[in-house]
């Protein structure tokens, strides 16, 4: 398997079983300086903030084709009044995301009704200690709880070539934190597309526009339930 096949958000099925236990290469995409807003709809709809890395940022996709705008379109088509704001930054680690969390939240015109947290893939690809990933995600969820903002997690799985010990420490992070903070969890965000090259970019890792729509279809019902619960709790 070519080393360059490892991207920041590589899926488990795209890792050859014969790979060595060597540390994975650095992410291929460069970290962008700031998230880009995705919603063009301005009204009094509740806001979902998509806070994550390239899977939320819309890596190499045209404007309007990334996960946040397509999720918003799907929810509105289903009769749910909502704005989904893209706060994804390609290349972000959990540490980098934690460092920009307060600034991101403080600069939202409207307090989010729900924050989707999708991070961890870049930590794994850099071979960062799972304990650090857990601590950073824990701190993100703690800050959201402190501010009274409901959260939802979209999880990641470790590449098996990193070894059984790493996998055993990394994979339980999301279920554990979801239980600790009592937040909804999508166990493995890339599950619907990870073995479907036709739904991936030429890098065979990130979703293409069709792949994004598949991810949206797979997750929109759970996001809708999480938003409904958040709005109910806020009353």
For the question of residue 90 being annotated catalytic, the response is no
Q: Residue 15 domain-assigned? A: no
Residue 87 DSSP class: E
| pTM score, whole prediction | 0.85
Residue 135, pLDDT above cutoff 60: yes
Decide if 204 is catalytic. no
Residue 221 has pLDDT above 70, yes or no: yes
Residue at 11 is within a domain:
no
Distance between CA 86 and CA 78 in Å, rounded? 20
Assign 205 a pLDDT band (cuts: 50, 70, 90): confident
Count of domains observed in the chain: 1
Segment 93-98 mean pLDDT: 98
Using CA atoms, how far residue 47 sits from 36, 83, 93, 100, 136, in Å, is 15, 5, 24, 19, 24
**How much is the pLDDT for 42?**
52
Query: Does the residue 186 lie in any domain?
Result: yes
Q: Could you count the other beta carbons within 10 Å of the beta carbon of residue 120?
A: 32
Q: Which of 11, 54, 92, 213 is catalytic?
A: 54
- Residue 18 domain-assigned (yes or no): no
Q: Annotated catalytic residue: which of 11, 38, 206, 213?
A: 206
- pLDDT at residue 235, as a whole number: 77
Classify residue 17: in a domain, yes or no.
no
Domain hosting 186: range is 27-234
DSSP H/E element including 19: none
Q: Determine the distance from the C-alpha atom of residue 197 to the mean position of all C-alpha atoms in its chain, rounded to a whole number.
A: 20
Helix, strand, coil percent values for the chain (each to nearest 5): 45, 10, 45
pLDDT in tens, 20-56: 333 443 453 555 544 444 444 456 899 999 999 999 9
Could you tell me the CATH number of the domain that includes residue 87?
A: 3.40.50.1110
pLDDT, one tens digit per residue, over 55-72 is 999 999 999 999 999 999
Phi, psi of 131 (to 5 degrees): -60, -35
Task: Confirm whether 21 is domain-assigned.
Answer: no
- The residue annotated as part of the active site, out of 53, 123, 203, 213, is 203
């Amino acid at each position: 398997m070519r080393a360059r096949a490892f991207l920041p958000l590589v899926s488990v099925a795209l890792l050859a079983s014969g790979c060595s236990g060597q540390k994975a290469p650095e992410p291929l995409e460069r970290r962008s300086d700031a998230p880009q807003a995705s919603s063009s709809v301005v009204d009094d709809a509740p806001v979902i903030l998509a806070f994550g890395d390239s899977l939320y940022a819309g890596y190499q996709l045209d404007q309007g084709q990334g996960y946040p705008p397509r999720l918003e379109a799907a929810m509105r088509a289903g009769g749910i009044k909502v704005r989904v704001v893209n706060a994804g930054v390609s290349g972000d680690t959990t540490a980098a995301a934690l460092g920009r969390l307060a600034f991101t939240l403080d600069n939202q015109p409207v307090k989010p009704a729900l924050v989707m947290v999708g991070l961890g893939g870049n930590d794994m690809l850099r071979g960062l200690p799972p304990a650090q990933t857990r601590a950073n995600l824990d701190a993100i969820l703690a800050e959201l709880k402190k501010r009274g903002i409901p959260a939802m997690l979209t999880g990641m799985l470790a590449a098996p070539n990193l070894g059984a010990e790493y996998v055993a420490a990394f994979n339980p992070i999301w279920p554990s934190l979801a239980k600790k903070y009592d937040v909804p969890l999508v166990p493995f965000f890339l599950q619907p597309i990870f073995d479907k090259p036709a739904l991936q970019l030429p890098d065979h890792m990130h979703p293409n526009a069709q792949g994004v729509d598949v991810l949206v279809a797979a997750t929109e019902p759970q996001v809708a339930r999480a938003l409904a619960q958040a709005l109910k709790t806020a009353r």
